[in-house]
């Protein structure tokens, strides 16, 4: 681990996720999801930020984008962005992420989901914060579109409590939700 690096990993899942009609879909990778969450991850020492999509054309697009900022003109124009995007890893699915981390740590990471609604297997913020403090490998899954599909939610060891803002409205962007979750777990 490099200086300030934690045992927290993030994964942004593009398939399978839900649409507004509660159907299972895949979503397209968006440029700002990559940049915003990578910059936030770098600020807090998130060890790696995985972008998961099963489509080859999406891989081609994301690789081109990452290459611009890591090795192309973007790397010279904005070295801070190069640094942030250096911790992005493009993967095909959740299995690939879990295998990578299992190889690295010799055990499966603790898999945590986030959700706008309360779930049964909820882990309090403070407890997860302590487990990360103890260097336990923790992988947080973030859903795009209208959230993670049931088959992904079922793979989680625990779920974080919904972010409560004191109103009935709960439609945060995944970029806002990721920032708030990581600040609650790693912020000082």
Q: Residue 167 interacts with its own copies (CB under 8 A)?
A: yes
Phi-psi region of 22 (alpha: psi -120 to 50; beta: other; left: phi over 0): left
Contacts of its own copies in 62-91 (CB under 8 A): 80-81, 83-84
Residue 26 is encoded by which pair of tokens? 């895949």
Q: Which one among 29, 36, 47, 132 touches its own copies, defined by CB under 8 A?
A: 36
Q: How far is CA 175 from the centre of its chain?
A: 10
CA–CA–CA angle 124, 32, 111 (5° rounding): 30
Burial (0-12, 13-18, 19+ Cβ within 10 Å), 114: buried
CB of 92 to its own copies, least distance (A): 27
In the numeric block, the tokens 């690096």 are attached to: 5
Cβ proximity to its own copies: between 110 and 181 the closer is 181
Taking CB under 8 A as the criterion, which residues in 127-156 touch its own copies?
Answer: none
The residue (of 118 and 183) whose beta carbon lies closer to its own copies is 183
Element (H, E) at 99: helix 94-105
**Interacting residues of 59 by C-beta distance below 8 A, sequence separation 6+:** 53, 90, 92
Among 1, 22, 32, 103, binds its own copies (CB under 8 A): 32
Per CB under 8 A, which region of 48-56, 59-67, 137-145, 160-168 contacts its own copies?
160-168
| Cβ 55 to its own copies shortest distance, Å | 23
Task: Give the binding site for its own copies (CB under 8 A).
Answer: 3-6, 32, 35-36, 39-40, 42-45, 80-81, 83-84, 163-173, 175-177, 179-180, 183-184, 186-188
């Amino acid at each position: 681990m490099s200086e300030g690096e934690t045992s927290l990993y993030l994964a942004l899942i593009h398939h399978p996720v839900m649409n507004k009609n509660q159907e299972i879909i895949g979503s397209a990778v968006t440029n700002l999801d990559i940049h915003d969450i990578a910059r936030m991850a770098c600020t807090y020492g998130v060890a790696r930020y995985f972008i998961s999509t099963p489509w080859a054309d999406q891989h081609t697009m994301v690789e081109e984008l990452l290459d611009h900022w890591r090795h192309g003109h973007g790397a010279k124009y904005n070295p801070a962005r190069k640094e942030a995007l250096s911790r992005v890893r493009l993967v095909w699915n959740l299995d690939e992420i879990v295998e990578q981390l299992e190889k690295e740590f010799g055990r499966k990471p603790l898999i945590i989901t986030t959700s706008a609604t309360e779930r049964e297997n909820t882990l309090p913020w403070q407890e997860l914060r302590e487990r990360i403090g103890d260097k336990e490998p923790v992988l947080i899954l973030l859903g795009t579109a209208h959230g993670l599909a049931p088959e992904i939610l079922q793979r989680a060891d625990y779920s974080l409590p919904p972010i409560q803002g004191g109103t009935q409205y709960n439609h945060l962007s995944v970029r806002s939700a990721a920032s708030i979750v990581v600040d609650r777990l790693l912020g000082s």
